Amino acid sequence: MPRFPAGGMWGNVHTGGERTTMTETAPPSPGPFPELEDQLCLDLYVASRTVIAAYRALLAPLHLTYPQYLVILALWQHGPQSVKLLGERLVLDAGTLSPLLKRLEVSGYIRRERLLDDARELRVSLTPAGLALQAKIAEVSAQITCSYGLSAGELQGLQQTLRRLTAHVKTAGEPESG
């Protein structure tokens, strides 16, 4: 829990008759919060935006967005699957995934079909045009991986650390049962 100066987080409160005023004072060094440069969240945000921008530049000639690229990768790896399962794999809600899939279908890369035994469920699969992207997408992935400047072991360690961080933050945000 951060500790604040005697006057509280924003300074000292002065009361004068009916009016209450607050004066802002600079926090003592070190301040109650870490410096901006020490905020992990900033590093994660900047890294995410930088990597996605690099993907965007390489995917633009293929007329794909980064989320569309992830959908195609999931379908290559796991084959045809329900929209629900695809959303779970990509951690995307239906409101985000549905328009994305519609654009991929209009582009001719995927097909969405209702199941005969359960018309409520949509199944997504790659079309021949979607399958044909594989070599070009593999090149994009290789270029991005090289741009990281990390060894295979460093990349694996970073992925493990990020997955552990994500799991811990999710768990910390869950209400306690009891």
Q: Enumerate residues 6+ apart whose C-beta is below 8 A from 156.
A: none
* pLDDT tens digit sequence for 105-136: 999 999 999 877 776 778 999 999 999 999 99
Give all domains of the chain, ordered by start, each with its CATH number: 38-148 (1.10.10.10)
d(CA 146, CA 93): 31
Section 53-67 average pLDDT: 96
* pLDDT band, very low/low/confident/very high, at 6 (cuts 50, 70, 90): very low
d(CA 129, CA 52): 24
* pLDDT band, very low/low/confident/very high, at 176 (cuts 50, 70, 90): confident
- Output the pLDDT for position 30: 58
d(CA 147, CA 41): 22
d(CA 97, CA 91): 10
d(CA 136, CA 58): 10
Identify the weakest region by mean pLDDT among 16-30, 44-58, 125-139: 16-30
- Output the pLDDT for position 121: 79
CB count within 10 Å of CB 141 equals: 14
